[in-house]
Amino acid sequence: MPELPEVETIRRGLEPHLTGLTLQSLTVTDQKVLDISARDGKLSTLEGQRIETLTRRGKYLVVGLELHYLIFHLGMTGQLTLRDPARADAESFERTLTGLERCDQHAPDRHTHVHILLGDGRQLLFRDIRKFGRVYVLERASEQLLAFFRAHHLGLEPFTSGYNLKDFLTAFRNRTLRLKSLLLNQAFVAGVGNIYADEALFEAGLHPARKASGLRRAEKERLFSAIQTVLERGIEFGGTSFRDFVNSEGEKGANQEKLYVYGREDEPCLKCGTPIVKTVISQRGTHFCPNCQPRRR
């Protein structure tokens, strides 16, 4: 699933290309990816509107139009890419059924569910193999957007003034979940998913099965810093591409080459050489180093 660094990478890639352009037309080939807010012809009301902003909250990408917000959540396998008619399309995907390792511009296929024609003739394409992604439409009013984020229980937002140690420590109060489960909870810190939760806990030297209620202040402070560190690293290297993630140009990220524990089961820890262990917490595969992240009561 694309996490904060992947969505931010897409946002940064799209922003200079989309800002100021008009949505000429929107075509949907599968209604399953539309939230109820975007059905019954709601998307057609966006036609003719100019794109003014492109922002992100957690894993949500928010396109600010003149009168509405068009919001994308990429789910497990969603991709948002630009297609330029002046460029030649590749003849086929490198892996036709999954789109893995996609690195060239491609024509829409059966997994491309939303086609947006832009004012300069290019297309913005939303492609989602598993169809867990969603498209939302809201009227452009700040209270509407805030209500949307509240309804989706989004917590602290990294890289904003709202992500500060005081509020982070407050968010820990009365938390009894195991640390891995807590980090996956979007109501705690928005945008962290399975990959970056594992990496943040390794960075902080904390065992993923420890209870949040048992952490000392110094350990909480380490985790606060570690979350930002691993997210910044993910953005710096263009996101993590194990499967379907590509940026707005259809290119893979490189952060998978910088991971310390995620996806490295039985491989030696890059810090101490101890084999990385994989377990399951909250039904999610969880990776850690038993030496660098000792289990304490």
Block residue for tokens 């910044």: 232
What are the counts of helices (DSSP H) followed by strands (DSSP E) for the chain? 6, 10
Candidates 2, 5, 158, 208; catalytic one? 2
Active site (annotated) includes residue 284: yes
Active site (annotated) includes residue 211: no
Burial (CB count <10 Å: 0-12, 13-18, 19+), residue 186: middle
Coil, strand, or helix at residue 236?
Answer: helix
Active site (annotated) includes residue 59: yes
Contact (Cβ atoms closer than 8 angstroms) between residue 191 and residue 58: yes
Candidates 3, 6, 199, 203; catalytic one? 3
Candidates 11, 56, 57, 59; catalytic one? 59
Candidates 12, 50, 211, 284; catalytic one? 284
Report CA-CA distances (Å) from 157 to 117, 148, 179, 289.
Answer: 31, 15, 18, 28
Active site (annotated) includes residue 157: no
Q: How many Å apart are CA 267 and CA 286, to the nearest integer?
A: 14
Supply the residues annotated as catalytic: 2-3, 59, 284
